[in-house]
Structure 1
Amino acid sequence: MNAKTETTDACDLRFGQVGIACVRVRRVDAAALCEELERRVRAAPQMFSRAAVVLDLSHLLQLPDDGTVDALLEAVRSAGMLPVGLAYGTSETEALASRMGLPLIAKFRAAYEPAAATPAAETRAPEPVARPEPILAPPEAGHPLGAQHHDGSVRSGQQIYARDRDLIVTGAIANGAEVIADGNIHIYGGLRGRAMAGAQGDEKARIYVSDFRAELVAIAGQYRVFEQIPDDLEGRSVQCWLEGEKLLIAKL
């Protein structure tokens, strides 16, 4: 049991719908948190260096005191990321955020069981944020709106987001560019940048790419970063999907 505790990761790092990372703290250990996040920054500096992050304390058995939270925030900063607020949770979290002068980010509403009820190594996908029904019809299978189309390439630094629907891109996604959808993503060109499907937590979302050379792909917050594309996937047509909490990629 002790060995299992020692090998437990310090945190889970999940990616939000508009490029904000959510750091879900799994144990109160500022040094381990800093080390874990530094490792993530080293693995993908273009993605995580100076990235805006939200701190989620919902998985801890007890809410830490102000001094401990301040140490965790400093650990995030020391790792090279920029904490911008706390994930919306309980009234105690709201009071903590108010005392520390931090905003609550409702998009990352806590949806995790307390540590006493859930094994520490287990992760759960965030619950989608409730939104009014779109005033558009008729609904289609899967997502309520028809797919959003983007003709042509997506340039470096550009972001395309398909809210409540699938996204279809007919051109290439450049390095440093980002495409996001609440549903599936279909890319009929080369993916050299980042693609994130199921941005509101849809674990059944998939990503289809005609020419795979991605920096990062993510589904419902679970992501994979590529410093070097595996030889059997580079330049191939692939699909990406979740199996449990593992993001899988296979040739089409």
Structure 2
Amino acid sequence: MNAVSQTGPSIRFRGRSFMALTLVADTPLQPWLADFDVWVQRSPGFFTGRTVVLDFADTAQSKADVERWIGELAARGVRLTGLEGVRPSLVDASMPPVLRGGRDSSIPVAEAAAAAEVATPAPAEPRKPATPVNMLVERRIRSGQSLMCLEGDVTIIGSVGAGAEIIAGGSIHVYGTLAGRAIAGATFGAESQIFCTRLEAELLAVDGIYRTAEDIDDAFRGKAVRVWTADDTLRMAAL
């Protein structure tokens, strides 16, 4: 009688890329948290459902430092999925893993859901993309909608409603009313700008420097405006 060999279901492994927001730790902690609290109050739900990595930038000196940062962010509803810039000896199994080979850019949003089968992945060197991948949207971005393109500029032919959010690696161009949140320079930093034909924004940010609605001069409200950074300050001018 011949033996019959049965093969059970195989285990499949796939490589998959996800976009992550990186918070850069700065010391002392309390002033950093004060600024962070302002951001969260002005942009409630900003971190909800997002992949968030904390980059210590070699500021953590002890395990207690790491635990405190993680705890303070958790108390504010930010669940970290990874850590960077910290010695592995300061991290234990109860903490998010220490990540290696992170890049300042991401794959285009349109392809973010596609899974790529890989063999042994080679470590990627941090770099900026050589050729920006820009996004053009010809419709209104409604309240509650979020649009992200970390590889280039975002151009919107239409309005951005209150409660909507635009995040761009480069610059943001809005040919219409900008009433939501616009966050530029997530990848390309201070060389990025924001342009809109009618400013009614809840929040503006370029290269991590931001202003909330309360900090925007009334002289710019309802006007065509350019926003950029210089000397670590967010600058604005009517067009």
CA distance in 1, matches of 2:57, 2:69: 14
RMSD: 3.2
Answer yes or no: is the 8 Å Cα contact 2:53–2:84 preserved in 1.
no
> Taking every aligned residue pair, what percent have the same amino acid on both sides?
26
1:84 equivalenced with 2:83 (yes/no): no
Q: Secondary structure at the match of 1:186?
A: strand
**What is aligned with 1:202?**
189
**What is aligned with 1:192?**
179
Answer yes or no: is the 8 Å Cα contact 1:51–1:81 preserved in 2.
no
CA distance in 2, matches of 1:182, 1:148: 11
**What is aligned with 1:66?**
63
1:18-167 equivalence runs, <5 A: 20=21, 22-27=23-28, 29=29, 34-42=33-41, 44-46=42-44, 53-58=52-57, 60=59, 63-78=60-75, 80-89=76-85, 92=87, 94-104=88-98, 106-107=102-103, 129-130=126-127, 144-145=131-132, 147-167=134-154
CA distance in 1, matches of 2:177, 2:69: 39
Answer yes or no: is the 8 Å Cα contact 1:55–1:83 preserved in 2.
no
CA drift of 1:49 comes to 7.6
CA distance in 1, matches of 2:34, 2:231: 27
CA drift of 1:235 comes to 0.8
CA distance in 2, matches of 1:181, 1:20: 12
Structure 1 gap ranges (5+): 1-17, 110-127, 134-143
CA distance in 2, matches of 1:36, 1:102: 24
TM-score where L is the length of structure 2: 0.68
Answer yes or no: is the 8 Å Cα contact 1:199–1:220 preserved in 2.
yes
CA distance in 2, matches of 1:233, 1:36: 24
Q: Which amino acid aligns with 2:37?
A: E
CA distance in 2, matches of 1:209, 1:230: 15
Q: Deviations over 1:122-166 (max 9, x none)?
A: xxxxxx942675xxxxxxxxxx24642100101122222334332
Q: Deviations over 1:155-192 (max 9, x none)?
A: 12222233433221111111221222222211000111
CA distance in 2, matches of 1:34, 1:202: 22
CA distance in 1, matches of 2:71, 2:27: 16
CA distance in 1, matches of 2:146, 2:27: 31
**What is aligned with 1:3?**
none
- Rg larger for: 2
TM-score where L is the length of structure 1: 0.65
The one of 201, 210, 235 equivalent to 1:248 is: 235
Q: Which amino acid aligns with 2:71?
A: E
CA separation of 1:107 and 1:145: change in aligned 2, threshold 3 A: closer
The one of 167, 171, 180 equivalent to 1:180 is: 167
The one of 218, 221, 224 equivalent to 2:211 is: 224
**What is aligned with 2:111?**
none
Structure having greater relative contact order (Cα 8 Å, sep ≥ 6): 1
CA separation of 1:87 and 1:250: change in aligned 2, threshold 3 A: farther
**What is aligned with 2:115?**
none
Q: Which amino acid aligns with 1:103?
A: P
Structure 2 gap ranges (5+): 1-18, 106-124
**What is aligned with 1:13?**
none
CA separation of 1:195 and 1:89: change in aligned 2, threshold 3 A: same
CA separation of 1:72 and 1:165: change in aligned 2, threshold 3 A: closer
CA distance in 1, matches of 2:207, 2:219: 25
CA separation of 1:32 and 1:51: change in aligned 2, threshold 3 A: farther
Q: Deviations over 1:75-122 (max 9, x none)?
A: 2233x23141454225x1x4434544303453579xxxxxxxxxxxxx
